[in-house]
């Protein structure tokens, strides 16, 4: 809620209490929604970092041979897929 908010004046000075309370409640709900979104993004980042680490490990520790029989792109890609599936637990 980046825009300015104006409140009605109260009969005895100050601002209308109900309007102020409603506005604060709206801000709190928005803040909680943004915190939940931030937590969701943090979890997604952690998940992607774990997967990247596993991928980097797979790349560093795995080798595959390209022979004349497997020199076609499908054979190479199949070997790469097998390596990734092994280290990512079935996820590509």
Residue 38 lies in a domain: yes
Q: How many domains does the chain have?
A: 2
* 3-class secondary-structure state, position 15: strand
Q: Write down the residue that tokens 């890609």 correspond to.
A: 77
Structural domain boundaries, residue 41? 10-49
| Residues 30-49 pLDDT 10s | 999 999 999 999 999 999 99
> Residue 7's closest CA among 29, 31, 17?
17
Does residue 24 lie within any of the structural domains?
Answer: yes
Q: Within a domain: residue 78?
A: yes
Q: Are residues 45 and 69 in the same domain?
A: no
Q: Which range is least confidently modeled, 55-59, 80-84, 87-91?
A: 87-91
Coil, strand, or helix at residue 88?
helix
Q: What is the pLDDT of residues 10-25, one digit of tens each?
A: 666 777 888 889 999 9
Residue 76 lies in a domain: yes
Q: Are residues 45 and 23 in the same domain?
A: yes
In a domain, 31, yes or no: yes
- Asked if residue 66 belongs to a domain, the reply is yes
Report which of 47, 51, 46 is spatially closest to residue 88, judged by C-alpha positions: 51
pLDDT classification of 92: cutoffs 50, 70, 90: very low
Secondary element (H or E) of residue 84 = helix 73-88
In this predicted model, what pLDDT tens digit does every residue of 57-80 receive, in sequence order?
877 776 656 555 555 666 777 777
């Amino acid at each position: 809620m980046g825009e300015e908010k104006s409140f009605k004046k109260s009969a005895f000075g100050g601002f209308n209490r109900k309007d102020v309370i409603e506005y604060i409640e709206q801000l709190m709900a928005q803040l909680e929604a943004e915190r939940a979104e931030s937590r969701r993004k943090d979890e997604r980042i952690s998940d992607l970092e774990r997967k990247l680490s596993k991928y980097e490990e797979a790349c560093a520790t795995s080798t595959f041979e390209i022979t004349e029989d497997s020199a076609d792109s499908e054979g190479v890609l199949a070997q790469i897929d097998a390596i990734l599936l092994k280290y990512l637990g079935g996820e590509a």
